[in-house]
Chain A
């Protein structure tokens, strides 16, 4: 039982990282209707900013805050300068633009910091915490708590502030929003900025575990995409729940099914995902899209 709960908590913590990236993907998708393959690369680049600052002697927390602010600016900048040109055009081109950004940002990160994975300081002390007689690692609990707080803040922003209302309006119908006098262009930039900032938090939290390198989140991106689509691309809650689900399924399959073990465990959530999608094409939480003739 003890072991089972540890596996589940670690799975949720891993899932929370995917969940943050998935949520970023959902935010971008709702705002601009495209899948941003560069979401992970943007997060890694921001994490590298923190890494550079820490190396220069800046305290960890301050470096993290600067990195998150940098991520916001980076997201807004890329939306305005690069992605804006392709919005509303051929969707394939727009997606390939984000693939180009993925490659380019990875290259820029490598330009400054190289391809070698390097250690990154952790925000949490090593060790475990005793919750109702079960020992779970502080890192897992901390990761889950921070990401939960970030998600709740986002939800509050979207549900109960004027900015959030405006952003939802733009996501829902950009043309009507523009006619009602909303600054659509700036709101899209804010949307991308928020998504990038969320990605940066995920990057900062996972970097101590994975070691920082330009390809650090390549794999997490695939999981995040899976979570975003499994949850239904328009549902933030769905993305987060699916991500936790993926993390837990992966952990449990690796721990308990001997045939699967450590090498095959990454395949399990994807196999489950195929099964679910075939049964429920709109995803677990998505609304069914009706296509007009």
Chain B
């Protein structure tokens, strides 16, 4: 018990340092760095949604970019018509959530790849629709907006103010999502992921929880779209690009599936790797990004979040008799670090006890 306590204080301290860094960083950095930090916050929220449906609930979704784009378009439309920004943010959450829910109501009966295919269709259908309805979307040219400038009293530059806004949204989203996946709903997600028949036998409707996971995922995608527009101040059909979805899935697995910390690591990876690769050699971005992706997976098949465990296994594995007891406390969402076959059994067990 002593060890847990020490560990918890350590984690709180780390969290505090992290928070201070997040708050101070934009005040001392260049516009370029602020932009990258803001983009990390944007894609962290998009990835959080993806992780809820894919990492936690085990349903492959290849359509997250469609919700990102939808959210961005709704935000752009609201801003151009000078609606209240809080209202716009709410709409950016509600409309994509409703669309996601409608799709899921039809699709959640399906399993595995059929479901994946329907989610692939979303960006594929979304892009030509966005081009066609140009009075709302600006067509292929996209639409540029200017909003969320820093108010005078704050004394901040626009990019710093926008950073704080998206950071606040991201923090709220992460706290809510963390509570969700650690509670009753999170356990239901885990058992749906593990085995739908077992879930059904335990009184957990796989259909309802799949729909719920998709709805939350699309909601977060839409919110990320609002944040995207706040930072980039521009959106076009390209925002929905299918390959954005694919890269988001890659970033989610690279970060660590079914893990909150992994989601943040995935977002950092998603935003920074192209930037780093571009600075190494701007015409070799794809080559370097691809090589980095494969290298990470070869070294850390469970994602970046498993790095500390991997290190401790390499360094002090024999002394600590394996790292499993510590791991359980570090990530109650077990699946992120432990073997894929084993961790769900205790989860299933808990669920039974909870009832």
Contact = CB atoms under 8 A, between A and B. Distances in A.
Given A111-B287, A278-B106, A100 B293 contact: yes
Given A104-B294, A106-B290, A264 B128 contact: yes
Contacts of B116: 229
B284 A111 contact: yes
A229 B111 CA distance: 12
Interface in B233-257: 242-243, 246-247, 249-250, 253-254, 257
Contacts of B148: none
Contact of A277 (B110, B253, B254, B294): B110
Interface centre among A93, A225, A271, A282, by most B CB within 10 Å? A93
A258 to B, nearest CB: 13
A99 B106 contact: no
Residue in B110, B196, B297 whose Cβ sees the most chain A Cβ within 10 Å: B297
A150 interface: no
B121 A105 contact: no
Interface string B88-130: 0000000000000000001101110110111011001100110
A9 B198 CA distance: 49
Interface stretch (A83-91, A126-134, A169-177): A83-91
Q: Which size class do A's interface residues fall under? A: 35 or more
A21 to B, nearest CB: 15
Contacts, number: 140
Contacts of A103: 286, 289-290, 293
A92 B54 contact: yes
Tell me whether chain B's interface is mostly helix, strand or loop, or mixed: helix
A53 interface: no
B311 interface: no
B290 A266 contact: no
A110 B287 contact: yes
A274 B118 contact: yes
A233 B110 CA distance: 14
A293 interface: yes
Interface residues of B, number: 50
Given A86-B297, A97-B294, A107 B114 contact: no
B197 interface: yes
Contact of A37 (B246, B286, B287): B246
Contact of A101 (B111, B257, B294): B294
A230 B117 contact: yes
A165 interface: no
A104 B121 contact: no
A267 interface: yes
Contacts of B197: 291-293
Contacts of B250: 96, 99-100
14 contacts: A90-B301, A92-B257, A103-B286, A108-B287, A110-B284, A229-B116, A230-B117, A266-B124, A277-B107, A277-B114, A278-B107, A278-B109, A281-B114, A292-B197
Interface of B: 54, 60, 106-107, 109-111, 113-114, 116-118, 120-121, 124-125, 128-129, 131-132, 195-198, 201, 242-243, 246-247, 249-250, 253-254, 257, 283-291, 293-294, 297-298, 301-302, 340
Given A92-B249, A95-B60, A107-B284, 5 more contacts: A86-B301, A96-B249, A100-B290, A274-B118, A283-B114
